[in-house]
A and B are shown apart, each in its own frame.
Chain A
């Protein structure tokens, strides 16, 4: 018997998106209510899924009740439930930021936003390689439109590069999926993990090519060095709530890397065993270093935030790159933290932009004092502490967990130097930005701008989530330890998926 709750994180946003299309033109309040309620419902379901997954059971939803491996399935384990919860939470808060207060966004913003959330949730839940491609396309198509959404010319240009690059990425993805299907004869991820061990030795080289192509595609999606060039322009040009939810979109790539390197290309998988092992850690470290250097050179707050986002992806992937249970758990903890923190940074940047008026915007040059300087300043400072990974917030705990997991690793010196150096550099970069924005004020009168008191509420909510992550670090990291053990043992998923007959 299928548990229909497993498909709700995709179904609720999709149905709400359709309702938003049906509402009469100009009915923005109605769309905001529908979207908000849908995202609230999705988050509630996600909490339920996490609680369910933590019992250790692997939830399987068979579409049309087709027997495995012929039908498409959804998989709910600890990792995917957690990712859905993270996406829904950030989505809900970013949507609230977009909906509260005055806004000139078009009628279709809620629709696109909801399909984006549906696509991301679907990518986290699916247990089928081709279905993953389909959900990638759903989230990308919504993302394309959201990037170019609005009047600014910069958006059309950044959007074009983003779209064309990702279309090439999608073609690569199809080639990789086709190759893996041609060799293993299955698309079900767990079944594929079994079949790769049974291949004749002559097919090993081809299989490795397919697997590497697959990982390259995921690296593009997570903006890993050297295939990241699309991210900063696209994210810096898109509007704040969109950029905030894009902070989770790179995590789709991260999730796929973790899932595939744990299941199909993981331990005991014959010719593709530990395929990514020699690559992931060096690439993650290089990503962190180069992104931090680029962040130093940023002249606008949004560009700065985009580079810091890439740097945080590098730091997260150090965790799975260690190929240890505690390393993966630490990486996941840091991922929870940094996704919330980066989303908060994009939203705070939007508040600053609104306060400084359209002329100065988010460029890092001195301007008149903001009308609500104190409120924005406090929010910016707390976000800064979170992003730079300073105590007492959870970024510090995440980095400490990562470093303690890495202490026995052969590459420990490099990891220590780079992670600590990156923390320090990002602290310098953000405090420099903060001092320009808040302290180097000119005496010219501040431009008239609408009050942002209500807009500050969703950001505060994000920061409260970070605080919760800090206070609840014990239970959360215990959950993540169990998650890491589950993800890194392919036999658990394989037994759950293939052992069960309808």
Chain B
């Protein structure tokens, strides 16, 4: 039986691998997708830093036993919001560069 940690780690690894592959395409749209994949991987990774646990409360309530660490969840929330803003900005930038150069290459030159 494979453990939850192993599945989790494999999922993060797959996301990062896909993200890096897309980053190396040197086209704006794949790069933005790649950056999004990497930021998903990082967010999953941050959640796991509070240790993975099954069947625990998200926060303590009277009568519940034990709870998961709330700090990583707060961090991830912040990271998601920032990542969202960054993605929006990169898309705007990519559109602007497409308008300026007429192609979607990161160097602005089709032959490069």
Contact = CB atoms under 8 A, between A and B. Distances in A.
A175 B45 contact: yes
B89 A153 contact: no
Residue among B31, B45, B79, B94 facing the most chain A CB atoms (10 A cut-off)? B79
Interface in B65-79: 69, 71-72, 75, 78-79
Interface residues of B, number: 33
Interface SS, B side: helix
A167 B35 contact: yes
Q: How large is the interface on A (under 10, 10 to 19, 20 to 34, 35 or more residues)?
A: 20 to 34
Contacts of B93: 144, 148, 156, 159-160, 163
B82 interface: yes
A130 interface: yes
B11 interface: no
Interface string B61-99: 000000001011001001100100110011001101100
A156 B49 contact: no
A164 B106 contact: yes
B2 to A, nearest CB: 22
B6 interface: no
A148 B31 CA distance: 18
A170 B90 CA distance: 14
A134 interface: yes
A134 B82 contact: yes
Nearest to A151: B100
A164 B97 CA distance: 13
Contact of B42 (A156, A157, A163, A175): A175
Contact of B89 (A141, A170, A178): A141
Given A130-B75, A130-B78, A167 B90 contact: yes
Interface of B: 23, 28, 31, 35, 38-39, 42, 45-46, 48-51, 69, 71-72, 75, 78-79, 82, 85-86, 89-90, 93-94, 96-97, 100-101, 106-108
Interface of A: 130, 134, 137, 141, 144-145, 148, 153, 156-157, 159-161, 163-164, 167-168, 170-171, 174-175, 177-179, 181-182, 185, 187
21 contacts: A134-B82, A144-B89, A156-B93, A156-B108, A157-B97, A157-B107, A157-B108, A160-B94, A164-B31, A164-B90, A167-B86, A168-B35, A171-B38, A174-B46, A174-B79, A175-B45, A178-B45, A181-B49, A181-B71, A182-B51, A185-B69
